[in-house]
């Protein structure tokens, strides 16, 4: 372990990253809020922001675990230079739920990003959310409330309770702090449904779909807290609502262990891809010209030789749709579900 610590310190110095810690106060909550900000050195101007929501029994110190992962992704260009920030919520009792005098969801959704914009130069137009376990629950709940506001949301082993009401929960889904989560969700405001990610998604599905919010769900299929149950339920709801998303059900993955590290890398890489798309860096000018050529060829009645097909380039999907345009049109005429992203699957 001592050797591992020495390696980490050497790597941090070589990557020129910095992890700073501070505190702030806000009327939304009663107590002082510790927070941390991780950033690469040497980058000026407003940087995109990744707000990390930590899990239960954790804190903003979670950023120390993310530091070597972020450094590697910054180094190879997978992740854009960014501010990665995390605020500490109460060890027990935060749950990213708004209560009178302690509005933790609102603090993370509004006050914390404003602070990071003002004090650390975060770009308010490029803010992503990611969280693990209880933090994944909070990240999804916040993202689905105002989907057009966020660049992406990545939820790792999110604490999603797969029942319409707390009394319907099975013992497998209420281990440890999850039982308290169900009670806390039902105790405040409009009750359980108002604090349910699934209810919030269904109530705001049109806005989530229209925003095109990039969504990542990832969970191991041997999660000791059975959080893969809620992840699978949310995946099926997103499918049925025709809302695009990435879904990773990891064979043999558990809540902690190697999957806990791999999932954080995957979440940051997912956010990095969303950053590149938003900045128009996901394709070259040549890619755009080739896509335009295929669209023009289709619009002109598919006459003459088609443009060059780059089967493994980003223009390939546009090319295939141009080639299949007549068949797609006929399928749409006969089957309106052709226009959906996901099909209507038979039950049973």
Per-residue confidence at 13, pLDDT binned at 50, 70, 90?
very low
Q: How high does pLDDT run on average in the chain?
A: 92
Interval 283-314: pLDDT, tens: 999 999 999 999 999 999 999 999 999 999 99
Instruction: State whether residue 71 is helix, strand or coil.
Output: helix
Per-residue confidence at 189, pLDDT binned at 50, 70, 90?
low
Written in H, E and C, the secondary structure of 211-265 is HCCCEEEEEECCCCCCHHHHHHHHHHHHHHCCCCCEEEEECCCCCCCHHHHHHHH
> 188 pLDDT exceeds 90?
no
Q: What is the pLDDT of residue 209?
A: 98
All domains in the chain, ordered by first residue:
2-278 (3.40.50.1820), 285-339 (no CATH)
CA 120 to chain CA centroid, Å, is: 22
Q: How many whole angstroms separate alpha carbon 223 and alpha carbon 293?
A: 48
Q: How many whole angstroms separate alpha carbon 285 and alpha carbon 337?
A: 33
Per-residue confidence at 167, pLDDT binned at 50, 70, 90?
confident
Instruction: Tell me the average pLDDT across 166-189.
Output: 89
Instruction: Tell me the average pLDDT across 181-209.
Output: 91
Q: What is the pLDDT of residue 348?
A: 75
Query: Looking at 9-18, 95-104, 208-217, 225-234, which range is the least confident one?
Result: 9-18
Per-residue confidence at 165, pLDDT binned at 50, 70, 90?
confident
CA separation (Å) from 29 to 22, 132, 196? 16, 22, 21
> 2 pLDDT exceeds 70?
no
Instruction: Give 53's contacts (C-beta < 8 A, 6+ positions apart).
Output: 86, 96, 108, 129, 130, 131, 132, 134, 135, 136, 138, 139
Tokens of 129: 């959310």
Instruction: State whether residue 40 is helix, strand or coil.
Output: strand
Tokens 């699957």, located at residue: 345
Per-residue confidence at 115, pLDDT binned at 50, 70, 90?
very high
Closest CA to 213 of 253, 270, 136: 270
Instruction: Tell me the average pLDDT across 154-169.
Output: 93
Q: How many whole angstroms separate alpha carbon 61 and alpha carbon 39?
A: 14
Helix axes 258-278, 62-75, angle to 10 degrees: 50
Interval 27-71: pLDDT, tens: 999 999 999 999 998 887 899 999 999 999 999 999 999 999 999
Q: How many whole angstroms separate alpha carbon 307 and alpha carbon 222?
A: 48
CA separation (Å) from 346 to 236, 240, 241, 343? 13, 11, 15, 9
**DSSP letter at 151?**
S
Interval 236-280: pLDDT, tens: 999 999 999 999 999 999 999 999 999 999 999 999 999 999 999
- Altogether, the residues listed in the chain come to a count of 348
Closest CA to 273 of 293, 246, 249: 246
> 7 pLDDT exceeds 60?
no
Instruction: Give 8's contacts (C-beta < 8 A, 6+ positions apart).
Output: 67, 68
> 91 pLDDT exceeds 80?
no
Q: How many whole angstroms separate alpha carbon 149 and alpha carbon 211?
A: 9
Instruction: Tell me the average pLDDT across 66-90.
Output: 96
Q: Are 175 and 255 in contact (CB under 8 A)?
A: no
Q: How many whole angstroms separate alpha carbon 208 and alpha carbon 147?
A: 5
Provide the percentage of residues in the chain whose pLDDT is more than 90.
86
């Amino acid at each position: 372990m001592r050797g591992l610590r020495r390696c980490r310190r050497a790597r941090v110095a070589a990557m020129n990253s910095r992890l700073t810690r501070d505190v702030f106060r806000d009327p939304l909550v009663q107590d002082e809020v510790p927070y941390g900000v991780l950033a690469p050195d040497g980058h000026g101007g407003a940087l995109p922001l990744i707000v990390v929501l930590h899990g239960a029994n954790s804190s903003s110190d979670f950023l120390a675990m993310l530091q070597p992962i972020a450094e590697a992704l910054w180094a190879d260009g997978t992740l854009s230079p960014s501010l990665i920030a995390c605020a500490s919520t109460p060890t027990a009792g935060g749950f990213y739920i708004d209560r009178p005098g302690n509005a933790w969801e609102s603090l993370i959704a509004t006050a914390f990003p404003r602070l990071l914009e003002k004090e650390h130069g975060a770009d308010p137009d490029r803010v992503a959310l990611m969280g693990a376990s209880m933090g994944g629950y909070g990240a999804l709940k916040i993202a689905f409330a105002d989907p057009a506001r966020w660049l992406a949301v990545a939820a790792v082993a999110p604490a999603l309770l797969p029942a319409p009401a707390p009394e319907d929960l099975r013992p497998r889904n209420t281990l440890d702090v999850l039982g308290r989560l169900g009670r806390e969700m039902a105790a405040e405001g409009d009750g359980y449904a108002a604090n349910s990610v699934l209810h919030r998604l269904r109530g705001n599905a049109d806005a989530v779909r229209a925003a095109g919010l990039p969504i990542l769900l990832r969970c191991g299929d041997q999660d000791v807290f059975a959080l893969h149950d809620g992840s699978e339920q949310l995946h099926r709801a997103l499918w049925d609502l025709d809302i695009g998303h990435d879904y990773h059900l990891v064979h043999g993955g558990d809540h902690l262990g190697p999957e806990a590290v791999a999932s954080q890398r995957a979440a940051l890489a997912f956010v990095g891809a969303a950053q590149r798309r938003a900045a128009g860096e996901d394709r070259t000018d040549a890619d755009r010209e080739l896509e335009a050529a295929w669209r023009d060829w289709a619009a002109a009645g598919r006459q003459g030789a088609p443009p060059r097909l780059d089967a493994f380039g980003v223009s390939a999907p546009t090319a295939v749709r141009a080639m299949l345009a007549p068949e797609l049109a006929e399928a749409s005429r006969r089957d309106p579900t052709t226009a959906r992203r996901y099909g209507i699957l038979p039950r049973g």
